[in-house]
Amino acid sequence: MTTRHVLVGLDGSPQSEAAALWAADWAHRLAAPLRLLHVWPWLSTHNMDRSRPGDPRPSALDALTGVAERIRHARPGLVVETALRADDPVDGLVAEARGQEMLVLGTRGLGGFAGLLVGSVSLAVAARAPIPTVLVREGTPASGTGEVVVGLDAREPADAVLEFAFTAAGLRGTALHAVHGWDPSAAWAYGGLMPPLVDLPVQQDTETAVLTQHLSARRAKHPEVEVVVDARLGGPASAVLEAATGAGLVVLGRREQRHPLGMRLGPVAHAVLHHCPVPVAVVPHA
């Protein structure tokens, strides 16, 4: 059976190092090996001359080795591997992610080796990766006690997203905060003169009941996880961002359907990834 790694895209930036330390904590919790990967089109371990100006390969190897040794020292029981891949950063990370447990990336980087893993690359990978992908900002603690927040559509919650969120809360030993933002005008037909009249308290009870019902099966499977049901008036992105204050991880879904211009993040995931101060996991689902 193939070993499933926690995979980290490492580029030498502070953001990617924070991602590696965060991923090491998760690999330890999962009892899974950690793999640190640097991807760049012209990488090769042959004929590396450190005196050649502009050659990023020696620095890439130094960064991989340094972070790996730091993690091994902090977690002596954790298996830590390093690897280089000569490829386009987005294509290479997506390809390496197949069959792995989780992919972790730094975000909002402005440097590193030739600008690898700047925000656009992280977003592009999160939109295409076939496994849960976590984006981590610089300064994020490697471990924490904040709850797990999962953003859901109460009427179409994805099983893969729920399972990831419950598992994450169980591993962290924290509560799971299930958030559904609902807007009474969402069903308003385009071109109408005014939105329908809605009894807000009644609709609030309905939205809460629907969300609670969809969570019931997972709660039975994960009885150790305390669940907070939170259906709140407002847009889904704003609801998740409000709930994320003080959280340790936010979990969102990404539907695996191909757009004419390629795989894309939905508007909620895109907004949350741009504005959320805590790590965000994007989980692909059918």
pLDDT in the model for residue 138 = 85
Let me know whether 167 and 273 are in one domain. Answer: yes
Residue at a domain's end among 93, 109, 136: 136
pLDDT in the model for residue 238 = 95
Query: DSSP state, 16?
Result: H
- Per-residue confidence in pLDDT tens, the chain, 286 aa: 568 999 999 988 888 899 999 999 999 999 999 999 999 876 665 555 555 666 666 677 788 899 999 999 999 999 999 998 889 999 999 999 999 999 999 986 434 444 333 467 888 999 999 999 999 988 888 877 799 999 999 888 899 999 999 999 999 999 999 999 998 765 444 455 555 667 888 999 999 999 999 999 999 999 999 999 999 998 999 999 999 999 999 999 999 866 555 567 889 998 898 888 899 999 999 8
Let me know whether 168 and 250 are in one domain. Answer: yes
Let me know whether 154 and 260 are in one domain. Answer: yes
User: Is the residue at 1 inside a domain?
Assistant: no
pLDDT in the model for residue 254 = 95
Let me know whether 121 and 217 are in one domain. Answer: no
Residue 45 sits in a domain whose CATH number is 3.40.50.620
Q: Which domain holds residue 51?
A: 6-136
Let me know whether 126 and 158 are in one domain. Answer: no
Let me know whether 128 and 166 are in one domain. Answer: no
Closest CA to 202 of 192, 194, 210, 213: 210
The total number of structural domains that make up the chain: 2
Let me know whether 158 and 274 are in one domain. Answer: yes
Strand pairing of 249-255 and 6-9?
unpaired
Residue whose tokens read 């509560």: 175
First to last CA, the chain: 25
pTM of the model: 0.88
pLDDT in the model for residue 237 = 95
Let me know whether 27 and 107 are in one domain. Answer: yes
pLDDT in the model for residue 141 = 87
CB 240 within 8 A of CB 181: yes
Let me know whether 52 and 123 are in one domain. Answer: yes
pLDDT in the model for residue 190 = 46
Residue at a domain's end among 88, 107, 136: 136
pLDDT in the model for residue 193 = 52
